[in-house]
Every structure is written in C-alpha cells, then in structure tokens.
Amino acid sequence: MAKLTIPAEEWMYRGHAACPGCGPALAMRLLLKGLGPRTVMSIPACCWTVIGTPYPTTALGIALLDNPIESTGASIAGLRAALDALRIEDVRVVGFAGDGGTADIGLQALSGMLERRTDAIFVMYDNEGYMNTGVQRSSATPQGAWTTTTPVEGPRRGKREAKKEIMSIVLAHHPAYAATVNPAFPEDFVRKAEKARDARGPRFLHALTPCPPGWKFSSEETIELGRLATETGLFPLYEVEDGVYRITRRLGTLKPVDEYVRLQGRFRHWEPEDVRELSEEVRRGWERLLRLERETAPAVFPKPPVAIAAA
Amino acid sequence: MIEIRFHGRGGQGAVVASELLAQAAFLDGREPQCFPFFGVERRGAPVTAYARIDDRPVGVRTSIVNPDVVVVLDPGLLATTPVCDGLKDGGLLLVNSPRPVERLAAPDSVRRAAVDATAIAVAHGLGSRTMPIVNTTVLGALARASGAVSLEALGRAIDRFVPSHPEANRAAASDGFASVRCVDAGVPSSAPPTAWAPTAPLVLPDGPIATVPSRSIRTAAWRTLTPSIDLARCTRCNFCWKYCPDDAVELDARGYPVIALDSCKGCGICAQVCPPKTIAMVATEETAP
Amino acid sequence: MTREVLSGNYAQAYAVRLARARVISAYPITPQTTIVEKLSEFVASGELDARFVEVESEHSALQVVVSAAGLGARTYTATSSQGLLLMHELLHWASGMRAPIVMGVVNRAVAPPWNIGADHTDTIAQRDTGWLQFYPESNQEVLDTVLEAYRLAESPEVRLPAMVNEDAFYLSHTYEPVDVPTPEIVDRFLPPRESHAVLRPGVAARLGSFTGPDHYVEFRHELARATEAVGKRLPEVEEEYRRFTGRSHGGAFPTYRAEGADAVLVTMGTTSTTARTVVDEMRAEGLKVGLAKLRMFRPFPDDAVRELAGSVDRLGVVDRSYTFGPAGAAATEVRAAIYPTPHHPLVAGFLAGVGGRDVTPAHVRRMFEELLGNPGEATRWEDLLPAEVGAHG
C-alpha cells in the first residue's frame, strides 16, 4: 500500500452541504490537514457559510466564528488580539473567505490586517465569482467568462475586464508568507498550509477552487480542471517568503489553455481568437513569474570585489 | 383549488417546473401561484417547490403541507426523502421512474403515476445522463395524470418561457403525456417497503453555539450515481481518498478504499482520478430500471 | 477613592482601565478621539494590560471586538456619529452573538451638513440593534455607568452589548470633578469576565451559524428574554455598585420632584442637569414641576414610565434628535408605554438641542411654561431661527 502523502486526520466532517465536486470543500479539507485542530477560524458570508451546515450542526472540527462578508481581516485581528490578551498560546488564527469577501468587499479589512502585521493567515478560496448567490461576476472572474451578470448576449461576451491580481495587492503589503495553492495538488497545498501554520505575522494563501455549477462543468472534472489551471501556466504554484519568489511546481512547456477552456461552459462562446489571446497572456504571466523568481533569488556566491569585476 | 408540491434535486429543474406549470395554468385561463422553498440550493440536494391553481385569485401565501398532488422528479428521493408527507388520501403521487407503476415504493392510499422521464428527456437531448432535464416531460405526464393543466397550454408556455430547445421540450412533454401510467388508490404496491432512515432529531445545544458534528447529516440523497470499486484491480494508491471533497472515502486497515455511502454525493471525482480506472459510477438501485 | 478633574471622555477611559478591558479597538472620529488617545497611553505605559488594535475603519473596530468577545475577552470600543452609522451592521452581530461589549458613543449630529455638535440621532437610529443604551448626564455618571454596564452586560441572563453615550462637548470635552474608585474596589465589584457560550481553541464549535425558519425565531426570542432580564438585573447591579462606592444613579428612569407635580419634563443626557436646576427655581416660585430622566433608552423603562404617568397629567418629552416619525423618538416611546394604562396624561413633544444648539435654563423654563399652559400634543421645535433668517430658499 502506498503511504499517505498528506496527514490522515480529518478536521472537516462529512455531511457538509457543498455541491458534488466542490473545489472549496476540498480546499478546506486540505487546509485543515495542514493547520491542525489548534485553529480558530473566521468565515464571512460565502459558500462555506452554507457548506458548514445549519445550527445546531457544524462541519468543522475546530472553533469557527461567522462574520459579515466584508470584515474577515478585522475578525481575525480580533481573534488574535483576544488570544494574545488572554495568554492562550499555540493557536493559529485563520480567515477563510471567497474571492468576493477577499478581493472586492473584503479588500479594506484584508489590507488593514496585512498592514498591521496581524499574526494570522488569510485564505482566499477563489471560485471566480459570487457562486453562493447564484453565479454573479466578481473582480476575480476571468475576462470573457459568462456569469449571470456578465451575460453572453448581443454585443456582450461575458466579463469585459481582466481578473484582479490579488497576489500583487497582497505582496505590496510585504506579508511574512504568501503562496498560491490548488487542491488538485494536495501535497503542495498541505505543505504550504503547514508553512503558513509555522510562520508568524500576516500570511496569505490564494487557492484556486473550481466550482462545477458556476463554471459549468461536470462534477467529476474538478481535479482535472485544477491540474490544467496550473499546468497551462494559468494558475502557477509559487510562494513568496520575505520577498523571495519560489516556483513550487516547475513547468517545461506550458500545456495549451484550450483544454482548460473547453471543459467549461462559461467559456462556451469563445472563438479561437479568445483562446489565442489568453495563451499569450498566460505566457507573459509565466515569464514574469520566472523573472521575479530569478531577480529575487538570494545570491548563491558573494559578489566579487569591484576591482576584479572591473578588470 | 389544487395544491401541488414538487420534489427534485438542485439543478434538476423542479423550481422551473413549478413556474412553467403556473404559466400554463394561466394560459388555460386559471389563477396560478408558484414559489420555491429557498433552502440550501445545492446542485444535487433535495429541493422543494410549490404550485397552486384555482379559478379565483389564490388567497394563501404559505408552503403546501397537505398537497393534492406530489411530483417527484428524481426516483432516488423516494428512498431518502419523505415526499408523501401530508399528501391527501386519494391524492396523486407522480414519480419520474422507469419502474412499473405498481412497483413504486409508495403508500397505496393514494393514486400513483409513473413516467420514465429520464429516458424521454435523454432521447430528446435534454441534459446529460447524470443530470437529465426532466421537468418538461414530467409536466406533460402531470397534465394527463392530474388534469391540472392542458397539454396545449403547457406547449404554449414552453414556447414562451423555455429559452433553449423549446421544440425538444415540447416533444418531451407530449411523450410524457402519452406514456404516463396510473394506478388507483387501493391497488396494492408490490415494492418492498422502503426503510428510509431519517436523520435523527438533533438535540439543541445550550446556547447559540453549534456543536453537533455534521457527520450526523446524511447526504446520500444527493447522489444519482454511486462509485463501485473493483478492489481486485485496486493499487491502494489512495487517490480516491486524497481528492474526495466530501470526506466520503475511508481506507481500511490494508489501505483499500471504502466509500461512506451515507455521505457520498456521487460527484465522480474518485472515478476520474483513479489511475488504473478501477472505479465505475453506477446508477443507484432506484434509478435502475 | 481619588477625586480628579476629568473630561467625560477621560472618565470613560478611566472606567475602561478600571474594568480591565483586555481587547480595545477603535478608529478616530471627533469628538471621540480623546477616549482612545487616553486608552492608548494606558496600554502603552502598561497601566492597562490590553491589546489595542488600531484599525482602518469603525466597521473593523467593532468587528475586532465582536470576534475578541467570541473568545471570551472583555472588550471596549468607542465611536461617534458617522462612525456609529458605519458600524450598524456589526451592531446586530454583537447582540446576535451575545457579545457583552461596552462601547462609548459620543453623541454627535449626523451629516450632511457636517456638524460635530451634540445630537442623539446617531444612537437613536440604533435603537433596534439589541444594544443597551445609557444616556448619562455627568462625567461621574459616565464613569460609574461604564462599570455598571460591564457588570450588567456580562450577567449570564443578559449577555448583551451596551452603549454608554455622552453628549458631544457638553460631556466629552467638559472637565469637572469625578470620584474615581480604587482598582481594589472595582475588582471586587467587577471580577474578570466569566465566559458563557464562547469559543475555545481546540473545541469544535461554531458561533454565528446560519439557520432557516426552524430555529431563527428562537434566536430572536432569546434576545427578547435577555432584554427583559435587564429590568430585574439593573437594580441589583446598582445596589452592588452602591455598596462598593456609595453611589447610585437611580435605575433606568430616575425622577426628581415629580411627586404631586402638575407637569413633568422627560429628558435625556445633559439637558437633565440644566432642567433639574430649573425645577428647583420654579418650585421655589410655587410652580409644581418635576423632572424624569431617561437614563436608559434601551431597554425602554416602560414600567417606570407607566408608574410616573399614573400620577401626572402633563408630560413633556424632550428629544435631542429629529426622527422621521410621528414625534420625537422618546416622545413616541413614552406614548406607547402609557397606552395600555387607564390614565393617559397629555404628552407634549419638544425637539431641543438638535445639532449642538444650547439648551439653556430659559429654554427649559419656556418648555415648562408651555406645558403648564395649553400645550397640545404636536411636536415643537425649540429655538428655531426666525423664518426670514433661518429658512432655506
């Protein structure tokens, strides 16, 4: 028998109310495997409000507090302050918010928490839209994607604008640790959750979590879509520690984005030209990441003395 | 006034069915009312919708507790959801099922009707095998079995309000109308009694904090297909366990997977990620002919 | 006990230090700032063992203390006017999560136009959020009420958040002598928070939750029961406080020379002090007038109001806020409270001191005179500028 590559303990209970094939459910399961039970979590209004099952039940084996959609950053700051004030040690504080509760309405409180160097982890589970309310556009919805508020009708061909770059915004705050995670790569996901668990100061995880009803794909394809997102270079896996970038899943040639696009009904209206544009954009993003990794790499050898270099 | 309650799964079209029925009844010159029960609107989760049809404006705005008609869009719900709760004696139960109507697991104090709406819908290209769009077929059957609405008005409502494939939907409704089979109340059911186990009543915690683990909630009712593992070919790689979003796969002492059937929602991820492809998604007993 | 000359805002901060709040969070807004500046000093110097979270908005300030209270910490925040309005959503979270937060609110007018003067519109607009509301009239009462508010809010049968409100500038920036009890005395009156129904790290539980119609009604009913419990608990808390400090502020609806009065004025906050002086003057002139103070607006002291109404024929209710209803908020509540009683006094409504306009002894005297004359029940705007200079074009 193959040995387990991720911890056996489960801190997310079965019986939860996620849709079949739910990316955010798997993300929660993997996250808590990495963080363990000494975790206090705050979740805003999002899919997980409902997934977490109604009173008097709960789907998580940890202490969980609900907060309104825009204030997750402040909520985890309050939890951290209380733990510190009450001298309760060895507890991780985590906010687990959707892309709307992070990059749209939650951005102010997130920025505040990062700027204050709050000792807590903020996880954005990115299903690229307001899925709990029935698939409306968010700033994290990709360009050209259909949603109920960015219809494909007449001259409209889905969302007009580009996806907001949350990692760039977060990194401008110089967090202690930031990483992208993808439930299709459980070992990488759990390792980064553990790293976030053991770091101090503000940490951020950006999880891409495919949504079968929102992206319009069949529930068994969640993992395949996740793998394609990373292997096409669309959602590269990397981490940033003290400003140093490190790609955690190296890619040789990028897989064609076409495969990723074709699996999803929200891109059904796309023309070959749209795919070409996306390929180009993905390539530029990947090259930029490679450059950032090179430029921020700690020097392996001390710089040679100026005189020798000049000679 | 006739009161109709629809039971389906999220994504199956139960709510749209109630709306189409209301539109059709209006075209028949009657006074309809319809509304969904807004609960956990999850794909695959049991959902309820209501419709009332009368000759004068409907004067109540409450959920329907004692329906004249119960419509079940998914036969799997018969085993997991108390769909017949409150159904009036002599009322009508209409089920989308490939089974002979006499073999429906249903009380024989009511009229029963069955239509193989899944087969009809698939034949007309409506939805997929795992998630067929059966609502128009079922409405055709309902028109015949209940007389609540005319097939002609239903066809016109489909033309006006179904945005995609109205012709196929209209044809499916006609097929449903033609092929529904009924038995009267009193005719005994030959199905073995269903032993559906309701979720145990919950003991409320003392105070506003929720402390009951969700493990006590059965989500098996969401499933239309069930993973079946060919253990002889299983390599014990544990991918099925690792990728399950529902924590519904356990590993036994030797590392072989065991599906927690009370919880599995049948998403099919385990079958998809299994490297040697030893997992097949098979129809549940109720959906099998 | 020491006697010090303190502003209302400092009285609030001193009380929070004595209460040993463990988590404080606030966002600056005039005229609340000196409360949190003083508390920042106390935390920085180590005089107060607390975490002070300097947030980026009032909304976040209240969220910080709501979440901290969810883990069992004693918490404090303070705000005013626009800041309180921004907090509105979180006010419901605080009561719904049964978080016994104490918040200082400096009552300030609501924009537009911008105005930082005293006005109760900000807190009156929050009357339906499940918070207890106190309207003290002196800096001494501010300090005492903060301590009583913690004791009351943390009582197991209550577990509701409380606002201790100060009229902008008339209290917040007014210095006057205040008796400050010793930490030893306050520690005996107010022991560390006993944590009922809070989250504990390592224990699976969810605070907040979601629920359908099947349980939501019961959540609201529990809030109603908790609110009702305040009426019984407040006199007990006041009696305990009196035993430790010798001071009491007369419950939720204290009266002054109201026995046998022909007319009684009902006031909130600092207007009460001025009105009390006018009562003494007019009584000396042989006019039978009295005073009743709405020390608490939530829960509304219905029983006490009914008791007073049973023995008086004319009540004048002074609101320091304009609300878009049939009458001032307090006047409306007074009328509602006495409706079920057999004896209905005339209830006249006065709007006075809106937006920081002074309520002088002369104004109060005029209100009494109107009340003793033939007032009718229509709401009167006190001290409006003459139309030719005051009205907009």
What's the CATH code of the domain at C374? 3.40.50.920
Domain count of chain C? 2
Q: Are residues C228 and C261 both part of a single domain?
A: no
Peptide bond into C156 cis (omega under 30): no
Q: How far C209 CA lies from chain B's nearest CA (Å)? A: 7
Angle at A127 between CA A121 and CA A130, to 5 degrees: 105
Please answer yes or no on whether C215 and A55 come within 8 Å at the CB atom: yes
Q: What percent of chain C has pLDDT over 70?
A: 100
Asked whether the beta carbons of B139 and B118 are under 8 A apart, the reply is no
B245 and A CB contact within 8 Å: yes
Other CB atoms closer than 10 Å to residue B44's CB: what's the count? 28
Please answer yes or no on whether B209 and C219 come within 8 Å at the CB atom: no
* CB contacts, 8 Å: C222 with chain B: 208
pLDDT per position as a tens digit, A175-215: 999 999 999 999 999 999 999 999 999 999 999 999 999 99
Residue C64 in any domain: the answer is yes
**Structural domain range at position C195:** 2-245
Other CB atoms closer than 10 Å to residue B17's CB: what's the count? 26
**Structural domain ending residue among the three candidates C222, C245, C268:** C245
Chain A: residue nearest C25 by CA?
A78
Q: Which of B206, B208, B211 sits opposite C204 (nearest CB)?
A: B211
Q: Are residues C221 and C290 both part of a single domain?
A: no
Please give chain A's pLDDT, 311 residues, in tens. 678 999 999 999 999 999 999 999 999 999 999 999 999 999 999 999 999 999 999 999 999 999 999 999 999 999 999 999 999 999 999 999 999 999 999 999 999 999 999 999 999 999 999 999 999 999 999 999 999 999 999 999 999 999 999 999 999 999 999 999 999 999 999 999 999 999 999 999 999 999 999 999 999 999 999 999 999 999 999 999 999 999 999 999 999 999 999 999 999 999 999 999 999 999 999 999 999 999 999 876 655 555 554 44
pLDDT per position as a tens digit, B79-103: 778 899 999 999 999 999 998 998 8
Q: Are residues C310 and C238 both part of a single domain?
A: no
Residue B221: which pLDDT band, with cuts at 50, 70 and 90? Answer: confident
What domains can be seen in chain A, in order of their start residue? 23-296 (3.40.50.970)
| Rounded Cα–Cα distance for residues A277 and A275 (Å) | 5
Q: Are residues C231 and C282 both part of a single domain?
A: no
- C155, two tokens: 């009582």
Distance, C-alpha C274 to centroid of its chain: 18
Residue C250 in any domain: the answer is no
First to last CA, chain C: 57
Q: Which of C98, C204, C212 sits opposite B208 (nearest CB)?
A: C98
Length of chain A: 311
C223 and B CB contact within 8 Å: no
| Rounded Cα–Cα distance for residues A114 and B38 (Å) | 37
pLDDT for the residue numbered B287: 45
| Rounded Cα–Cα distance for residues C104 and C80 (Å) | 8
Q: For C351-371, what is the mean pLDDT?
A: 96
Please answer yes or no on whether C67 and A74 come within 8 Å at the CB atom: yes
Q: How far C97 CA lies from chain B's nearest CA (Å)? A: 7
* CB contacts, 8 Å: B211 with chain C: 204-206
Q: At C238, which CATH number?
A: 3.40.50.970
Q: Are residues C177 and C201 both part of a single domain?
A: yes
Residue C207 parent element (H or E): strand C205-207
A7 and B CB contact within 8 Å: no
pTM of the model: 0.94
pLDDT per position as a tens digit, B241-279: 999 999 999 999 999 999 999 999 999 999 999 999 999
Q: Are residues C99 and C235 both part of a single domain?
A: yes
**Structural domain ending residue among the three candidates C189, C213, C245:** C245
C343 and B CB contact within 8 Å: no
Which has the closest alpha carbon to A35: A194, A239, A204?
A194
Please answer yes or no on whether B213 and A58 come within 8 Å at the CB atom: yes
Please answer yes or no on whether B212 and A13 come within 8 Å at the CB atom: no
Chain B: residue nearest A2 by CA?
B237
Q: Are residues C190 and C62 both part of a single domain?
A: yes
What domains can be seen in chain B, in order of their start residue? 2-183 (3.40.920.10), 209-283 (3.30.70.20)
* CB contacts, 8 Å: B74 with chain A: none
Residue C305 in any domain: the answer is yes
Choose the mutation target among B41, B48, B209, B214 for the interface with C, i.e. most C CBs under 10 Å: B209
In this structure, the strands spanning A244-247 and A238-241 are: antiparallel
Q: Are residues C82 and C133 both part of a single domain?
A: yes
Chain C: residue nearest B206 by CA?
C197
Q: How far A149 CA lies from chain C's nearest CA (Å)? A: 26
Four-residue CA torsion sign, A251, A254, A259, A265: positive
Chain A: residue nearest C200 by CA?
A63
Residue C211 in any domain: the answer is yes
Please answer yes or no on whether B210 and C205 come within 8 Å at the CB atom: yes
| Rounded Cα–Cα distance for residues A203 and A205 (Å) | 7
Q: Given the structure tokens 């099947």, which residue do they identify?
A: C214
Q: Are residues C292 and C220 both part of a single domain?
A: no
